[in-house]
Chain A
Amino acid sequence: MTKHTRREFLSFLFSTTATCFLSAPLLNLSTEEGDDDFIQVNGWILKKSDLYV
């Protein structure tokens, strides 16, 4: 599998918010979800909508 397809695969894996939030604890990721539209993941301050890319 090429690097490109690995990225595509992971993009697909995280293509829904539900998958991400379910996956994060299992993957031992450092996440912090606030009351607002943002989520902190491993230092990144992302919009929750970013999870749909």
Chain B
Amino acid sequence: MIIDLNNIKSDPFQNKVFDICICGGGVAGITLAVNLSKQFNVALLEAGGFEYSEESQEVYKGRIIGREYYPLEETRMRFFGGSSNVWAGFCRPLDYYDFEPKKYVEYSGWPINRNDLDPYLEKAKSILDIPDDKEAPKDQFTHLLNKSADFKKIDFWFSKPTNFGEKFGNEITNAENILCCLNANVTDIILSEDLSRVKKIKVQNYAGKSYMLNVKTFILAAGGIENARIMLNCNRQIKEGLGNSTGLVGRFFAEHLHYAVGELILEDRFRNCNEIRTYAAPSERFMQKENILNLGLRIIRCNQNSSQYSFKMKIKNILCEWSPDLVESVFSSKCRYADQLMDRVVRIISEQAPNFSSAVLCDAEVDKFKMRRAALDWTLSPIDVRTIKNGVIHFGKTVASLGLGRLKVVQWLLSEDPKFPGIREDETGGNHHMCTTRMGTSPKNGVVDSNQKVFGIGNFYVAGSSVFSTGGHANPTFTIVQMSLRLADYLNKYN
């Protein structure tokens, strides 16, 4: 059943106790609601309506106080379906290595491993409408790349992309055990007197009318920035906010760094390799040897006409490009062939190391519900820069040594202290907001435990990419679905 809190006369929550209350009708919240409603009565609270509205989206406004980033009201969606309304559909589980602690990365490692999520892989693929695996065409480029000890070809799956609001809207409407409330803004989480359990949830519609829900279990699934903002704002009973006894809520904000890092010319024998995109990633051995993080390279076909030039001719043109001054002086014209050379553009999607200084904080300015707005202090670490620089240069050496082609690395990356392009010059990030309520082994290194339960609060869970301990390089949606299925499984068994 779905109701709109903006258009309701009586209190829909009066005299009711919900087994499960979920804040957030995005990928995580909808997956949880659908998979918990067989056993429990569920309240699903969505802050927006069925469609985009300025009124709801405005609540997402915030301030960028660190490294340049997208406006906070543009980098996420605040209506039913959440950011699945706008995503691109890239899917891939995290690598086994992503879960392991690394001696060279502080706070690295998860309390769970990839085997804990693998049982949910097939169901996640089904939810995300990922077609059955087709055998990838075998091409010589891939075959040779896999001979490298340092890089390997990787695959992505592609969702339609699934819009969770559209896919599950009818099921939720017809579900007897789900009460989905649109335009329901969670403005307080009220704990029991001994502060050990969530007791009530306060919600408000856009007219400011308040309602209270009695809950047995509460799951916060409002997104990587909003989860932290809500926990920090709910500080009426605990001054530092909920789950924040060690000051980690909002900390460790991580993104996937997205940049064009080079252009590739292919040797002639790969001209018939028509794959539009090829994906590569470093081996574990290489990451350990170089002390770098995980990264993905997207090698994208860019120039259909370039095949008219042979590989040797392209190399000659490259050599001409070395000496524009000489060409200028001798022939009074510059050698300009570069735009006709390139066969592939290479983009990187790179992991960011856990970084306490990179954080979602609360600003002084408040939204219409008197909740402090988000202030994003996104910060990088030296290892983030080193990962991109070493990874790309070594990929260039790998493709050259394997006889695949030659890579031209963008100039800014080769400088001693690379200054990354800004958001007007390149993508910068993937709109992936991760790790702000990270999973840890104790409150010293995390906000939630291995079952996504907030340390110290018995019936308070967090879902979504905010609970990632680290981000790997894969787009987060697939892992969000896997982890939501795992949490639903846990609550169905033990709640």
A residues sitting closer than 8 Å to B (CB atoms) are: 1, 6-8, 10-11, 13-14, 23-24, 27-30, 36-38, 40-47, 50-51, 53
Contacts and interface: CB of A to CB of B under 8 A. Distances in A.
Interface residues of B, number: 29
Interface in B304-319: 312-313, 315-319
29 contacts: A6-B320, A6-B327, A6-B335, A8-B316, A10-B323, A11-B320, A13-B323, A14-B319, A27-B323, A36-B397, A37-B401, A38-B400, A38-B401, A43-B408, A43-B409, A43-B410, A43-B411, A43-B414, A44-B318, A45-B393, A45-B397, A45-B400, A45-B408, A46-B400, A46-B406, A47-B400, A50-B315, A50-B406, A53-B316
B323 A46 contact: no
Contacts of B414: 30, 40, 43
SS class, residues of chain B in contact with chain A: helix
Contact of A6 (B312, B331, B410): B331
B410 to A, nearest CB: 7
A45 B326 contact: no
Contacts of A41: 322
Contacts of B313: 7
A27 B322 contact: yes
A39 to B, nearest CB: 10
Contacts of A43: 262, 408-411, 414
A46 B327 CA distance: 21
A5 to B, nearest CB: 10
Nearest to A6: B331
8 cross-chain pairs, A with B, having the tightest CB-CB distances, nearest first: A45-B396, A11-B316, A10-B320, A53-B315, A43-B408, A14-B319, A43-B409, A44-B408
Nearest to A34: B397
